[in-house]
Amino acid sequence: MPIISRIRTIPDHPKKGIMFRDITTLFKDPAGLRIAVDQLVARYKGIKIDKVAGIEARGFILGSVIAYQLGVGFVPIRKKGKLPAATMGKDYELEYGTDRVEIHIDAIAPGEKVLLVDDLIATGGTAEAAAALIDESGGDVVECAFVIDLPDLGGTKKLEAQGLRVFSLCAFDGE
């Protein structure tokens, strides 16, 4: 059974016209979670990666397991005000307003190779801000990895236009 069949679609959530892709059904399925993690780990075995950075919150679930399997460190990229030590942050645009993601200033050393992980790429604003933080810290984004791509929302193209490599396990067209 493929990954995409293990992801629940909830119509009209959080508002009418949105087809919400719920990855919690993949996470609760032991075989589905294992398949997703194993496929991502296999892609990056043998590639120089020093850290895996996971975007809050579902990127923590995937990113920490991938980091463990690859034998590298994990860096949480969190929403504003959630990290306890000195941070650096990046604002990004939302449909109505802005938000901010942050990392600890000592999370990534200059020259470290970083894999950026999240559950889903939609418009790309959060991933774009996270990649900028990694870059500003001196790290080098090896690739941006996602379970789900919503290609019609343009996030993958936005990241690729900035020279970032993007990989997703599955895509839902027609968003």
Express each pLDDT in 91-135 by its tens digit: 998 767 899 999 999 999 999 999 999 999 999 999 999 999 999
CB atoms within 10 A of CB 60: 18
Q: For tokens 């090896």, what's the residue? A: 142
Q: Which among 109, 133, 130 has a CA at the least distance from the CA of 144? A: 130
Fold entry, domain 47-171? Rossmann fold (3.40.50)
CA angle at 70 for the pair 21 and 63, rounded to the nearest 5°: 30
pLDDT at residue 150 tops 80:
yes
Q: What are phi and psi of 23, to 5 degrees?
A: -80, -10
Give catalytic residues, as residue numbers: 58, 95
In this predicted structure, the answer to whether residue 2 has a pLDDT above a threshold of 90 is no
Q: Where are the domains of the chain?
A: 47-171
What's the gap between Cα 69 and its chain centre? 17
Check whether 12 has a pLDDT greater than 70: yes
pTM of the model: 0.96
Q: Which of 40, 41, 62, 44 is nearest to 53 (CA)?
A: 62
Q: Name the pairing type of β-strands 166-171 and 113-121.
A: unpaired
Residue 152, φ and ψ in degrees, nearest 5? -65, -15
How many angstroms separate the most distant Cα atoms in the chain?
45
Is pLDDT of 69 > 90? Answer: yes
